[in-house]
Structure 1
Amino acid sequence: MSTTSESTADRADAPATAAADDHQDVRPPSGAFSPSQLVRNLPDAVRKMSPRYLFRNPVMFIVEVGAALTTVLAVALPFLGGDGTTIGFTWLITVWLWLTVLFATLAEAVAEGRGRAQAASLRATRTTTSALRVRGYDRTGDPAVERAETESVASAELKQGDVVVVVAGEVIPGDGDIVAGIASVDESAITGESAPVVREAGGDRSAVTGGTRVLSDRIVVQITSKPGETFVDRMIALVEGAVRQKTPNEIALSILLSVLTIIFVVVVLALGPVAGLQGATPGVTVLVALLVCLIPTTIGALLSAIGIAGMDRLVQRNVLATSGRAVEAAGDVTTLLLDKTGTITYGNRRAVAFLALPGISERRLTEAAALSSIADPTPEGASVVELAAERDFVPTERPGRTIVPFTAQTRMSGIDEADGSALRKGAAASVLAWVQEHGPVAPAVAEQLEERVVGISEQGGTPLAVAERTADGTAHLLGVIHLKDVVKTGLVERFAALRAMGIRTVMVTGDNPVTAAAIAREAGVDDVLAEATPEEKLALIRREQEGGHLVAMTGDGTNDAPALAQADVGVAMNTGTSAAKEAGNMVDLDSDPTKLIDIVTIGKQLLITRGALTTFSIANDVAKYFAIIPAMFVGVFPGLQALNIMQLHSSSSAILSAVIFNALVIVALIPLALRGVRYRPSSASSLLTRNLLVYGLGGVIAPFIGIKLIDLLISLIPGF
């Protein structure tokens, strides 16, 4: 069974911080968008106006064709006898049609520009270093490396399967797995986390990333990446969006927009003769303006930026998705598999109570437990000292005191004082045997100890007995320390929010059913899989998927790889093995398994952002109908003047106002597309109601106000 306690051991504060965050409302960091980004990415936006590029976006391609057509007409009008008003109107329409295309490509350019900025910082971590390659490594262990010949080569020359030796102060030359040794590694260049982490051979903490630096000791690394295909190289490609493909929903929406565009092309061509505009040059300009305002240009312009920004929001959380499909799938997840250790719990058992035996004061037990834990360097031992400090006792040094360290043989730790007294803390059976070495233990006392030990065990905790030996050589049992897996702060509320969203949570653990059930009840998860094997995890995922559910899970070990590959959203820890990272479709650089909950929330945010802006785009077309349609037909059907409810100044100003608003609204919505619509966990019906009220109703009202204001300004221009 793979565990994920590494994130807790390496970065003790990270899980607590993550759990303390307000995950009811996902917002990217402030400064996610600034107007200066528009100017900075303007050249790239101009390049994206190439017809060969825009052809992939049918909506905006039609707008560009229309802009090109009106450009030709505007140039030809002086030679066709057009008057100044007609020429001015045509040129204004032409300019704003080109600006519409530019604003659409600008949205995508800004989204990709942020990715390039992040990729540039990653690219700076790639360095060509010298590596000490081992000749003829036979995988018999570190002593073989000591005897083997080595050669100094450039990191670019390393091949998959090569073995290198890296010592303190050196940069790891490539991605690989530690086959011998243990070291402290600085991964800040990759993760941004300043605290060093421990990497060692074997287990789930053996993977290392090229470009990180060894701070202490010495490790032997077998290279697992091919030249140019390191983890950093893949990160750069992902962040830049070079391999981003459209998701199924995005493809479906693109098809829908294309179909709507074709329908409106046919409708507009049919409206020309009815409006009496056929054959007239200004009439063609009006028809093009009508078409651009009727087709869903807003969502067509922003669709690609929304998808890129969704992956970018994950990058801001230090999570890399191998495709937009994975981000989108996260938004539709209905079953969430979470490992217990390091995900639901802190990963290390902590002292939560001191249970004194009858006749022993709690203060006496607290002091003895803290003093006997001085020699225990484990997180559990440290938690005993911390709990004692909360009870106003901090152990101090004393001359003549001898520290008795914990060993696997004695299963105890403690201290021996100069006067012959001593304290011991450890497994109940070991401590009881130590006491019995110094005299008999009353059956009643042994029975009371047993009751407390059994009671803690039944609650899923771990009991540690505490005893003392006085200076006269007699020993006494003092009580029991209750250690337990502590559920992370805020998880109960977060699981409740997930439940409200229709997501079922399942805790997966290798613990026995009694302990697993106790933790599951405390954490508030919906189900639990105890004593789980890799085969059982894989079977559980397949059962859920066969039932029509989308499954997300996290893992870090080689034995997690099959389940990560099977899951719809598989999040591999960066601290995990290469097999796990290859199997998952996301990599968490911080190795914080609780981030899986954030990933699901960000996925949902992407989906509702796309839905909200689609609703707004379609709704704001309604207002543009009332601006352009009456203006077009009023000459043929004067009675349609009644539909001019905005009381626009003239037919020309009405059409031009609608075109200008159609272009400006794209720029206005770029920050929202990049930042994402605010997401609050709620039912599907509540989300739909909010979507319709805010973005549907808002999409109808905003154009009425915007077009009217623009019309007032245009009416000041002579000739309009």
Structure 2
Amino acid sequence: MGTTHEQFNVGGMSCSFCAESIEKAYSRTDGVKDVDVSLAHEEVLVQYDDDLLSEIEVKDTLRDLGYTIRDSDKAKRYEQQQTELADGKRRLLLAGSASIVVVALMGWMILVMKRFESASLTMDLVTLVLALGTMFGSGRYIKQKAFQSLRRGIFNQHVLLEAGAFAGLFGGLLGLFVFPSFPTVHFFAVSVFITTYHILSEYTSLIVRTRTSQAVQRLLDLQPDTARRVGEDGDVEEVPVDDLYVGDNVRVKPGENIPVDGTVIEGKSTVDESVATGESIPEEKADGDEVIGGSVNETGTLLIEVTATGEDAFLNQIAREIEEARAMKPGIIQLADRVLKYFVPAVLTIAALSFLFWVVAPLAWGGGPKVQRGVFAALAVLVLGYPCALGMATPLALIRGGGKAANHGILMRSGDAFQIFPDVNHIVLDKTGTITVGEPAVSEVIVFDAEESNVLATAASAEAFSEHPLADAILDAADEQGVEYGDPDAFDSVTGNGVRATVNGDAVLVGKPGWLSDEGVDLSNCRDDIERLQGRGLTVSGVVRDGDLIGLIGIGDEIKADADETVRRMRDAGITPVMITGDNERTANAVAEEVGIDRVMADVLPDEKREEIGCLQEAGHRVAMVGDGINDAPALTQADIGIAIGAGTDIAIESADIVLMGDRLGGVMDAYEIGTESYRKTRQNLTTAFAFNGIGVAAATTGLVHPVFAMLAMVLSVSAVLANSFAGQFLSGEGVNTEFALDKRTDDDVRDGRAMAD
């Protein structure tokens, strides 16, 4: 007996009821051991016994429920999403057109002809055709979902919608052929309206969930398509990366992306591994050191022995981590769906009991069965029971919150973020690029035998020809302070150690303290200063002129101006801040101490970040993760709420539920406060909507509610929800901004802090 895992990208999911229906269907299927459904990313991960089930049977369960399985190829998947959008738009146009015609007929009948009951056989037949066309044309796919759900004993929104739609159709047919007093047109109109509304809501949901970016593919594009393979005879040939095998040797020149994971067997260079570690300062690489595919070779030529290819390569592992985390991320049942979970069977039960009451109860007081009234009561209950306002309560609150967030430079990409944020009690912050700026800068200059400006001028002149990021930091500091410096008379870069130069006739060394000691420089009087700077997490470069140490330069990643204030706001809100980083423990603790974070996780690899988030979740915590790099993407996806810094990488942004435009860390707590307020609005909306539905259903049991008044009640309930969602916003002059909802933006727009509305 073996357990097989299958992961599917699923089309057609519109709310958490869909996720619950899929989970229930699989839980009732023999051989299925576990299933995880991610509504946010439209993915299903199924674990099953391959002795009892085949892959085809597993897929057929999804297809039977009315959902589609998208192609595993991401480019084809995107095409399928666009096809689904086109199909949804076509259905909406057809159903919407039918609704407009029905409204026009009803308006003519009520306002011109002054009649509520049927005005003419022709009008009855026209609305019947429109009802049948909408229900069995545009809305046919809804019936498939409802039937398959009922067949499995699952009561969801599709079942309730079809109960209401068929109730309207049945009521209209009774009025047409049995009871002339029935408002035929109005009952047929109900079938059209609620089907159209559902198609509209699913189409809107599809727009929100369709992603136009191919972020995971862009992640894999960091790896070059070809590599220079070096044969045993020294010959070099350019081959596709897919043709490389473990043990092959490849040569990488300065400025190129390293094509594969491997080990350096010849050469020295600095390598920018921020793709993996997120750290801004490059690593020095020499014989025996490991390198990661996708990182950038900066200064020297390297000969690398391949150690991993294909699915074992780092970038592929990250991509797989992201997709698995998406599928296994705990599902969130929206508050509205929790209400509907009990509301659906309750409405169906009340409708049946109402019919029985008016048929049986009159016998008790000596009357005859009131079949017509019983039918009217049952149908009215089903019509009024369709939760139009309940369905709108959550999205309207999210639109309001999303608009307010957009005005603060925050893109709320997931409705789950609004619901979960009030319960978050731990916020995990990446260090580099999140708490810190993400670029090396001069933090401190210690002077021994010259003025500070002279130390910077000497170091800048010596480093003027260097391409190392630490040299850039020194030059930037000299420029900011207005220090004048020139080009060196002679220059030599000592890979992994520093530079040797001649400046105005003086021999100058700038580099690591250990290298300076090897060059015969006496550092005995500055050991304490070096240790203090390194204790702060700074990289130390000594500046030597004609054999004498004239100063030390401490270079590090600057902390963002609002970092300490943001941490304070977290504590005030009862949230525990946690810092996680791939950097060493000494540097991590130094940064954490400066901003006021007590809990630190250092030396953590990308896959370990996700595991750490999972451990916090298993301990019962609600966790938000804030990051900006590729190495943060799996953790962002795993967290209950992933928050990406908008100035970060595409893959981090695509993996997140919330995007902060620019690099301001304070947006994290702004998003928290907006999310908390929006969730409060959601609860208020649901209370209002449920009150209307509850009162309406209770009134409908009398059998005296006319469909016109039923629809009027639906209009009033929606209006009340609208007023609660937006009245305060209009009064405050905020306006309504729906930028977040469609998530239509280009990569440059995200970086510039502009989310484009479709």
TM-score interval (norm. to shorter): 0.5 to 0.7
Structure 1 partner of 2:511? 426
Measured in 2, the distance between the counterparts of 1:512 and 1:122 equals 28
Alignment of 1:346-365 (within 5 A): 346=437, 349-357=440-448, 360-365=450-455
Name the CA distance, whole Å, in 2 between partners of 1:131 and 1:111. 37
| Contact in 2 for aligned 1:286/1:655 (Cα 8 Å) | no
Aligned partner letter, 1:250: I
After TM superposition, give the deviation of residue 338 of structure 1 in Å: 4.4
Residues in 2 aligned to 1:550 and 1:541: alpha-carbon distance in whole angstroms: 10
Distance 1:631 1:505, change over 3 A: closer
Alignment of 1:243-282 (within 5 A): 248-250=331-333, 254=337, 256-271=339-354, 273=357, 279=370, 281=372
Name the residue aligned to 1:369: 459
Q: 1:654 to 1:383 in 2, by over 3 A?
A: same
One-letter amino acid of the structure 1 residue matched with residue 379 of structure 2: V
CA distance in 1: counterparts of 2:233 and 2:198, whole angstroms: 58
Of residues 171, 176, 180, the one that matches 1:78 is 176
Q: Distance in 2 between matches of 1:124 and 1:544?
A: 30
Contact 2:427-2:624 within 8 A present in 1 as well:
yes
The answer to whether the 8 A contact 2:562-2:665 is kept is no
Q: Which amino acid aligns with 2:192?
A: W
* CA deviation string 1:377-415 (max 9, x = no partner): 2212211110111111243337xx11132444xx34242
Alignment match, 1:461: 538
Look up the match of 2:142: 50
Give the match for residue 436 of structure 2.
345
Residue 600 of structure 2 corresponds to 528
Q: Is the 8 A contact 1:96 1:660 kept in 2?
A: no
> In the superposition, relative to structure 1, how do residues 252 and 616 fare at CA in structure 2: closer, same or farther (>3 Å)?
closer
SS at match of 2:471: helix
Q: Which amino acid in 2 is paired with 1:427?
A: K
CA distance 1:53–1:485, shift in 2 (3 Å): same
Contact 1:336 1:503 in 2 (8 A): yes
1:289 aligned to 2:380?
A: yes
**2:688 partner amino acid:** A
Could you tell me which residue of structure 1 aligns to residue 502 of structure 2? 416
Q: Aligned partners of 1:111, 1:604: CA distance in 2, in Å? A: 25
Instruction: Give, in angstroms, the shift of residue 616 of structure 1.
Output: 1.5
Matched ranges for 1:59-208 at <5 A: 59-80=157-178, 82-83=180-181, 86-87=182-183, 90-116=184-210, 118=212, 142-144=230-232, 177-179=260-262, 205-206=292-293
Provide closer, same or farther for how the CA distance between residues 346 and 145 of structure 1 changes in structure 2, counting only shifts above 3 A: farther
Shift of 1:619: 1.8
1:481 maps to 2:528: no
After TM superposition, give the deviation of residue 522 of structure 1 in Å.
1.6
Relative to 1, partners in 2 of residues 1:69 and 1:122: Cα closer, same or farther, differing over 3 Å? same
User: d(CA) in 2 for partners of 1:252 and 1:655?
Assistant: 25
d(CA) in 1 for partners of 2:485, 2:240: 51
Task: Measure, in 2, the Cα distance between the counterparts of 1:624 and 1:416.
Answer: 84
1:413·1:426 contact (CA, 8 Å) conserved in 2?
Answer: yes
Q: Distance in 1 between matches of 2:714 and 2:389?
A: 12
> Which of structures 1 and 2 has the larger relative contact order (alpha carbons within 8 angstroms, sep 6+)?
1
Matched residue SS, 1:82: coil
TM-score (norm 2): 0.54
Change (3 A) 1:296 1:44: same
| Equivalent residue, structure 2, for 1:385 | 475
User: Shift of residue 604 of structure 1?
Assistant: 10
Which letter does structure 2 place at the counterpart of 1:392? G
* Alpha-carbon distance between aligned partners in 2 of 1:601 and 1:511, rounded to the nearest angstrom: 28
Separation in structure 1 between the aligned mates of residue 310 and residue 658 of structure 2, nearest angstrom? 18
Which blocks of at least 5 consecutive residues in structure 1 are unaligned? 1-34, 135-140, 184-196, 209-215, 470-474, 574-579, 636-649, 678-720
Q: Aligned AA for 1:420?
A: G
The separation in 1 between residues aligned to 2:598 and 2:686, in whole angstroms, is: 39
Partner deviation per Cα, 1:581-611 (whole Å, 9 max, x = no partner): 9xxx958999x99999989998998898677
- The DSSP-based 3-state class of the residue aligned with 1:377 is coil
Matches of 2:225 and 2:514 in 1, distance apart? 51
1:404 corresponds to which of 489, 492, 513:
492
Q: For residues 238 and 451 of structure 1, what CA distance do their matches in structure 2 show? A: 48
Partner of 2:689: 620
Distance of 1:612 and 1:568 partners within structure 2:
21
Where does structure 2 lack aligned partners over 5 or more consecutive residues? 1-84, 96-137, 270-281, 296-300, 363-367, 646-650, 727-735, 743-758
- Tell me, yes or no, if the aligned pair for 2:641 and 2:658 is still in contact at 8 Å: no
Structure 1 equivalent of residue 98 of structure 2:
none
Q: 1:561 to 1:231 in 2, by over 3 A?
A: closer
Look up the equivalent residue of 2:596 and give its one-letter code. G
Name the residue aligned to 2:71: none
Does the 8 Å contact 1:103/1:666 carry over to 2?
no
TM-score of the superposition, structure 1-length normalised? 0.56
Q: Distance in 2 between matches of 1:620 and 1:533?
A: 48
SS in 2 for 1:479: strand
Work out the CA distance in 1 between the residues paired with 2:321 and 2:613.
28
Contact 1:163/1:223, CA 8 A, preserved across alignment: no
- The 3 A distance-change label for structure 1 pair 554 and 97 is same
Is the 2:426–2:623 Cα contact (8 Å) retained in structure 1? yes
In structure 2, the residue matched to 1:657 is 712
Q: Distance in 2 between matches of 1:105 and 1:98?
A: 11
SS of equivalent to 2:443: strand
What is the deviation of 1:51? 1.4
Worse-superposed segment, 294-303 or 74-83: 294-303
Q: 1:381 to 1:41 in 2, by over 3 A?
A: farther
Task: Measure the CA separation in 2 of the matches of 1:262 and 1:676.
Answer: 31
Contact between 1:354 and 1:482, CA under 8 Å: does it hold in 2?
yes
